[in-house]
Structure 1
Amino acid sequence: MTIASSPQQRGFLGAIERLGNKLPDPAIIFLWLILFLMLLSALGQVLGWTASLAYTGETAPQWGELKGGVLTYSATSLFSEENIARLLTEMPRTLTGFAPLGLVMTLILGAAVAERSGMFSALIRISLRNAPRVILTPIVAIIGMVSHHASDAAYVVFIPLAAILYASVGRHPLAGLAAAFAGVSGGFAGNVTPGQMDVLLFGFTQEAARIIDPAWTMNPLGNWWFILTIVVVFTPIIWYITDRVVEPRLGVWGGVPDEELKAELARSEVTPAERRGLRAAGFAELVIVSAFAALALWPEYTPLIDETQAGPARLQPFYAALVAGFFLLFLVTGIAFGRAVGTIKNSSDVVVMMQEGVRMLAPYLVFVFFAAHFVAMFNWSRLGPIFAIDGALVLQQMNVPAPLLLAGVQFVSSFLDLFIGSAAAKWSAMAPVVVPKFMLLGISPEMTTAAYRMGDSYTNIMTPLMSYFPLILAFARRYDKTLGVGSLLALMLPYALSFMVVGLTMTVTWVTFDLPLGPGAQVFYTPPVEAFK
C-alpha cells in the first residue's frame, strides 16, 4: 500500500503543520539543547546562581553542599575542566548508565518475540472478530487502549481492521476507523495493565526525582489506577461520539468492499492453529504470573519482599522485578504461541526475533545518546536543583494550588505534542525541571508523570505531525478518496476536545480527593527537607 503524503493546509492547522515540518529530528533538538545548556551553565557560574534550602539529612545529595543544616547548590560551567573531562572520559558510562535504556532494551527483547511470532496480531483479531454489532464501538475503544502493548501492531493491524469490521456489518468504515484511532492514539495514556510505556516514562521520572531524593526508585505500577480509570472514562466518550456524532454525520455507507478489502477481511479470521497458540500462550502466562506470586508469597522464601521494611516499602523488590516480569511474560507467551502455530521452530528463531527487535530500536538508540547526555549534563551543571528550588519558592509564594500546577504540566505537554510526537523525547526534556520542582512543593513524581501522560495523549489525534497520521489518512482514503488532512482532523476533533476537558477534570479530581495512583503511589510527597531557606 502506498501511504499518501498529507497536503499543505491553510489556516491554523496549516501553520502548525508547516512549523512542525521545519523542526529537526528529536535527537538533533537535544543536541541544540545541550549546546544551549552549556552556554547557560557558563552564564550561571559567572553570575553566581545559587539556591539553598534547609535540610535535615546527615549526608548531602549528589552535587549539593551541606553546611549547618543548609543544603546549597551552585551553578557550575559545563566548560570547566572537570566537566569537559567528565564528558569525554565518561561518555560510554553516561550512555549505558541512562536508566530508560536498560529498561527498554530488556522489554523489547521479550516484546519482539511476542510481536513477531504473531501473538499480538492474533490477540487483536480474535478480540474484534466476533464482537456484537451493538457493542462494537466500546469493544473497539477498549481494545484500542489495551493494544498499546502491541506497539506498531495497534496502528498497522488494529485500526484498518476496525474499519473493515464496521463495513462488514453494514456500518460506515470511517466510523470504525475514527473509534479505533481515538482509542489507540487519543487514549494513549490509558490501559488496563501497566506495560512498556510505564517503564519507559518512569525511567525518566526516576532520573529527575533523584535530583531531590537520590534514594527514590520508580514503581512501574505507580500510575496503574490512573491509566485504568482513563479506559473506564474514555470508553463511553468514544462510544457516544462515534455512534451519536461521527457516524450520523458520515451518513449511511453505501459502498461495497472491493476484492482487496474482502481478502483482508478473510485474513482477519483467526485460524485453528492461532487459537491453539493463544491457548498455549494463556497457559504460559498463568505459569509466569504464578511464579511471580510464589516468589512474593511463598512461606519463608520471599525474594521479592523486603522483610526488613514495613508497609508498602516491603513491596519495593516486587515493583523493581516487574520489568523482568514483563520481559518473561512477553518472551514465554510469544514462544508458546510461536511453537503452536509454527512461526517458531527452534531456539534460533527466537534469537532472530530478538535481534529484529533490537534493530527496530536503532532510531531510539540514537535519540537516547543525546538525551542521556542532556540529562547527565543538566545534573553536572547543578541547574536542575537551582531551577527546581527557585521555581518552587516562587510557586510557594504565589500559593498556586496543586491542581492548577498539574493542569499547567498537562497543557505544556499537550502543546508540545502538536510539534514533537515522541512521548519519551518530551518527557526526557521536561522531567528534570518539573519533577524535582513539584517534589519540593509536595507533589509526588508519580502524579506529575500522570499529568504529563494525560496531556501527551489527547493531542495525538489533533495534529498531522503525529508519525502515524499519514498512514491513518491512507487507510481512510480507501473509503473516501477525497478525504484530506483537514477532513480527518475534523473527524477526530470531537474526540480530542472531549478528552481534553475530561482529562483535565480527571487530573484535578485526582489531586483534590487525594486518590491513590497505583499500588504504593500517592498524589502527595514529603520532601526530604524542612523548609525553603
Structure 2
Amino acid sequence: MNNQSQRVGLLQRLLNSIERTGNRLPHPVTLFALLAALVAIVSAVLSLFGLEVVPPGGGEAVAVNNLLSAEGIRYIFGSLVDNFIGFAPLGVVLATMIGIGMAERTGLISVLLRGFILSIPKSLITFGLVFAGIMSSVASDAGYVVLPPLGAMIFAALGRHPIAGLAAAFAGVSAGFSANLLLSATDVMLGELTIQAAATIDPAYAGSLNLAMNYYFIIVSTFFLAIIGTLISQFVVEPRLGRYEGDYQGEESTTITALEKRGMKWASIAFVVTLALLALLIVPPGAPLRGEGGAIVQSPFMSALAVVLLILFFVPGLVYGIVTGAVKNDTDVANELSKTMAGMSMFIMLAFTAGQFVAWFAESNLGTFMAVYGAELLQSISLTGIPLLILFVLIVGFINLFIGSASAKWAILAPVFVPIMMQLGYSPELTQMAYRVADSSTNIITPLMTYFALIIAYAQQYDRDIRIGSLIAVMLPYSMAFMMFWTLLLIVWLLLGLPLGPGSAIHYGG
C-alpha cells in the first residue's frame, strides 16, 4: 500500500486531473443559476429563427418562448417565488427528513446498524457490512459516519485488514446508495423530478407515475450488490491489501449497552404498532388511503409515501429517544428537528436556483425541442435499445465524478433525457433507474464526493500514508463491478420486460 501510494502512475494522473477539473466547477447553487441564465439566453436566440416542432405526445406545434422578451421578463419576475416553492422535491424531501432526522438524531439508526453487524456470524461479516451499507441509505448520511469505521474496527479485531472492512462498508453505503429494501428520500426526491420531466411530454402518463416506480428493481439490487461487493472484497481487495502490519489500537466500543438494547426493544414495538395503524388506513376494503376500486398502485397511499415514511421513522425514533434519555421533553424534540432542518439548508438554497432552472427550461419549451431533435439524432445513428442504455449509464457515471449531488444532476439531466428516452419508446421509470445505477456506482471513486475526505480520515487511522489515489485504487474494483453487473441486471430486466415497480413499465407507449 505504501509503495502504491508513492507512485504516480497513469491512473493517479487521471484522478488528479479529475479532481482539479471538478474543483474548477462552480458550486451547484451557482451552477443552477448559470444554467437558468443560459436557458434564458438560448431561448432568446432560438426564438429569432421561428422554429417549431410537434411535441412527442402529439398536438399542435410549439415554438421556443423567448424568456428575455417583455412577456418573458414578466414571467421571470412574477414566478420567482412560485418556482422556488413549487420545486417538486422541496416539500416532500423536507417532510421526509423530519422523520428520518428524528431517528438519526436520537441515535436509533446508529445503534440499529451496529446491532446488525454485531449479530451476524463471522463468516458473513463482509456480506453483512455491504448489505448494512446499502440499507443505510434510508438514513441519508448516517451510514457514512457509522459503518466505515465500524467495519475497520471489526476487521481489525478479526485479524483481517481494517482497510478492507472500511472499503466494504464504504462500497455498500455509497456505491449501493440507490438500492434498498425500503423506500427512502432518494425515491421521493428523484421521483418528483422524473414525474415533472415526463409531464412536459405526456401529462397524462406523468400523472400515472408514482414515487415507488423503481421499488421492485431496488429490492433485487440490494441482495445482488451485496453479493457482488462481498466477492470483490474477498477475492480482489483483501488479497491486494495483504496482511495488515500496522500498530493502530482503537479505543472505540463495538458493543451495545443495556440502555441501547432497551431503547431498540421499545422502538421496535413502536414501529410495529405504527405499521399496524397505518395498515388499517391502507389494507381493508374502503380504507381511506386506497384508490378507486380498491387500487393500491394508483391511490392516495402512493401519493402520500413521503408522509408514510415520515411517520414510520419519526415514531420509533421518538420512542427510542425517550427511553434512552436523548429526548426529555417537547423542547428536545423541537431542537433535534431544528438541527435536522439546519442540515438541509444547503438543499433549500439549491432548491431555489434549481427551481428557477427547471421552471424556465419548461416555460421556454427547449425541452420539447431537445427531445424531438435529440431522438432524431439518436435514431439517425441507429443508437437505440441496449447500446443507448449503456451510453446513458456511462455518461451519467462520468458526470458524477464532477457533480456529486444526485438530486442536482437529475434536476439538470431529467428535463433532457426523460423526454428523449420517451420519444424513443423507453419509460421515465427505466430512465430514472439507469440514472440511479450510474450515479451510485461512481460515488466511491470521486474525490468530490462530500464524505470522501471523511473516509480518508478514517483510513489514515490505520495507514497514515493513504492518500486520495490510494483510496480510489482500493475502491475502483467495487465501482467497476457495480456499474458493469448492475447495468447488466437492468438490461436483463429490460429484455424480460419486468415491471420496475408498482404500476411501472419498461417501455413508453404514449
Taking structure 2 as the reference length, the TM-score comes to 0.94
**Structure 1 pair 98/348, CA: closer, same or farther in 2 (3 Å)?**
same
Distance in 1, matches of 2:484 and 2:213, equals 23
The aligned counterpart of 2:4 is: none
Matched, 1:304 2:289: yes
Q: Is the 8 A contact 1:51 1:386 kept in 2?
A: yes
Distance in 2, matches of 1:224 and 1:400, equals 28
Give deviations 1:231-287, integer Å, cap 9, x for gaps: 2221122112211221122222244542xx12x1x2x32111111111211122112
Shift of 1:53: 4.8
Distance in 1, matches of 2:336 and 2:389, equals 41
The aligned counterpart of 1:289 is: 275
1:93 to 46, 69, 82: 82
Where does the alignment leave 5 or more consecutive residues of structure 2 unmatched? 1-6
**Structure 1 pair 424/104, CA: closer, same or farther in 2 (3 Å)?**
same
Shift of 1:397: 4.9
Distance in 2, matches of 1:481 and 1:110, equals 38
The aligned counterpart of 2:443 is: 460
Where does the alignment leave 5 or more consecutive residues of structure 1 unmatched? 1-6, 57-69, 528-533
Distance in 1, matches of 2:335 and 2:140, equals 19
The aligned counterpart of 1:488 is: 471
The aligned counterpart of 1:110 is: 99
One-letter amino acid matched to 1:449: Q
One-letter amino acid matched to 2:178: A
- C-alpha RMSD over aligned residues: 2.0
Matched, 1:224 2:215: yes
Distance in 2, matches of 1:356 and 1:95, equals 22
**Structure 1 pair 190/54, CA: closer, same or farther in 2 (3 Å)?**
closer
Distance in 1, matches of 2:210 and 2:22, equals 34
The aligned counterpart of 1:207 is: 196
Distance in 2, matches of 1:371 and 1:425, equals 8
The aligned counterpart of 1:165 is: 154
Range with bigger deviation, 321-330 or 434-443: 434-443
Q: After superposition, where does 1:188-203 map in structure 2 within 5 Å? A: 188-203=177-192
Distance in 1, matches of 2:145 and 2:337, equals 20
Q: After superposition, where does 1:135-146 map in structure 2 within 5 Å? A: 135-146=124-135
Displacement over 4 Å in runs of 4+: 7-10, 53-56, 396-399
The aligned counterpart of 1:280 is: 266
Q: After superposition, where does 1:66-465 map in structure 2 within 5 Å? A: 70-215=59-204, 216-217=206-207, 218-258=209-249, 261-262=250-251, 264=252, 266=253, 268-299=254-285, 301-307=286-292, 315-465=298-448
One-letter amino acid matched to 1:513: L
Q: Is the 8 A contact 2:183 2:212 kept in 1?
A: yes
Q: Is the 8 A contact 1:167 1:257 kept in 2?
A: no
Shift of 1:408: 2.3
What secondary structure is seen at the aligned counterpart in 2 of 1:273? helix
Question: How many pairs align?
Answer: 501
Q: Is the 8 A contact 1:8 1:17 kept in 2?
A: no
Give deviations 1:308-362, integer Å, cap 9, x for gaps: 58x665x332211211100111111111111111111112211111111111111
Q: Is the 8 A contact 2:180 2:219 kept in 1?
A: yes
Q: Is the 8 A contact 2:93 2:306 kept in 1?
A: no
Q: Is the 8 A contact 1:76 1:382 kept in 2?
A: yes
Shift of 1:54: 7.8
Distance in 1, matches of 2:422 and 2:274, equals 36
Distance in 1, matches of 2:475 and 2:55, equals 47
What secondary structure is seen at the aligned counterpart in 1 of 2:29? helix
Distance in 1, matches of 2:215 and 2:456, equals 32
Range with bigger deviation, 110-119 or 81-90: 81-90
Q: Is the 8 A contact 1:442 1:524 kept in 2?
A: yes
One-letter amino acid matched to 1:403: I
Range with bigger deviation, 418-427 or 339-348: 339-348
Taking structure 1 as the reference length, the TM-score comes to 0.90
Q: Is the 8 A contact 2:248 2:461 kept in 1?
A: no
Shift of 1:420: 0.6
Distance in 2, matches of 1:15 and 1:54, equals 40
What secondary structure is seen at the aligned counterpart in 2 of 1:76? coil
Q: Is the 8 A contact 2:62 2:365 kept in 1?
A: yes
Percent identical across equivalent pairs? 39
What secondary structure is seen at the aligned counterpart in 2 of 1:296? coil
Q: Is the 8 A contact 1:312 1:520 kept in 2?
A: no
Q: Is the 8 A contact 2:246 2:463 kept in 1?
A: no
1:51 to 50, 53, 72: 53
Q: Is the 8 A contact 1:55 1:71 kept in 2?
A: no
The aligned counterpart of 1:3 is: none
Shift of 1:298: 2.1
What secondary structure is seen at the aligned counterpart in 2 of 1:500? helix
Distance in 2, matches of 1:284 and 1:364, equals 30
Distance in 1, matches of 2:489 and 2:218, equals 11
One-letter amino acid matched to 1:33: L
Shift of 1:398: 4.7
Shift of 1:403: 2.2
Q: Is the 8 A contact 1:191 1:230 kept in 2?
A: yes
Q: Is the 8 A contact 1:95 1:373 kept in 2?
A: yes
Distance in 2, matches of 1:55 and 1:189, equals 30
Distance in 2, matches of 1:517 and 1:523, equals 7
Distance in 2, matches of 1:392 and 1:124, equals 45
Shift of 1:520: 1.3
